[in-house]
Structure 1
Amino acid sequence: MWGVLVIVIGGLIATVNYVREHFAKNPHAYENLRSSLGKAILLGLEFLVAGDIIGTVAVEPTFISLGVLALIVIIRTFLSFSLEVEIEGRWPWSRKAD
């Protein structure tokens, strides 16, 4: 629940900032929107993964629940990785151009 709330609030803040920047004629308004929205989604995914881990550990763990948790973590890790590449515009192991 907290992860979804973080994503929704982050999305609203990113949208409000975009509208303000767009009307201020900021040429980078769209890129800032994408970056802010991506960061909100990444943070929300972190909360969702943490909630899943706590939920699995709080109840009696079974091999099935651990397998489901592992699959969820793998999928969300892939999504986080993809979003980070999209936000930064480069591979994580690539050095930033100075």
Structure 2
Amino acid sequence: MEREFIEIIKIVGYAIEAFGVLVVIIGSFSATANFLFTYRKLSEGKAYKNYRRNLARSIILGLEFLIAGDIIRTVVVAESIENVGILALIVMIRSFLSVTLHLEVEGSWPWQKESSNEKTG
């Protein structure tokens, strides 16, 4: 019974990671398509900025699913301290990427409140 449970959790972890990859792929295609359809209507700088923002958002969301899948598989399936250390390193790297992408695209830290100018602009 325990062996079947672990196998199910492994599959769920891989499925969540696969969904994260799918989010990045679909988000990349969507951001690119949106850019191609709107770059003539918007100024060059605005179109590029929107493209980068949409692309980064899909990457950030995909990273969140990848982290969730790693956590599920490592904590439930592999109980060794070495695996937990590897998981911690992976989560730190992916979290660092998420925070730096957010800072670059949004111009503020993820935990900072949006000003009223940023909400309307």
Same fold per superposition (TM over 0.5): yes
Alpha-carbon distance in structure 2 between the residues aligned to 1:91 and 1:9: 25
Counterpart of 2:29 (choices 5, 8, 12) is: 12
**AA of the residue aligned to 1:11:** S
Identity across the alignment (%)? 48
Please state whether the residue corresponding to 1:26 is helix, strand or coil. Answer: coil
Counterpart of 1:84 (choices 102, 108, 116) is: 102
TM-score by length of 1: 0.90
- The equivalent residue for 2:58 is 40
Task: Tell me which structure has the larger Cα radius of gyration.
Answer: 2
Which structure dedicates a bigger proportion of its chain to helix?
2
Sort the Cα spacing of 1:86 and 1:65 in 2 relative to 1 into closer, same or farther, 3 A.
same
5+ residue gaps in structure 1? none
Alpha-carbon distance in structure 2 between the residues aligned to 1:53 and 1:82: 21
Instruction: Decide whether the 8 Å contact of 2:75 with 2:84 is kept in 1.
Output: no
- Structure 1 stretches of 4+ moved >2 Å: 90-98
Task: Spell out, residue by residue over 1:41-70, the C-alpha distance to the aligned partner (whole angstroms, 9 max, x if none).
Answer: 000000000000010123141100000000
Sort the Cα spacing of 1:95 and 1:36 in 2 relative to 1 into closer, same or farther, 3 A.
closer
5+ residue gaps in structure 2? 1-17
Alpha-carbon distance in structure 2 between the residues aligned to 1:34 and 1:70: 29
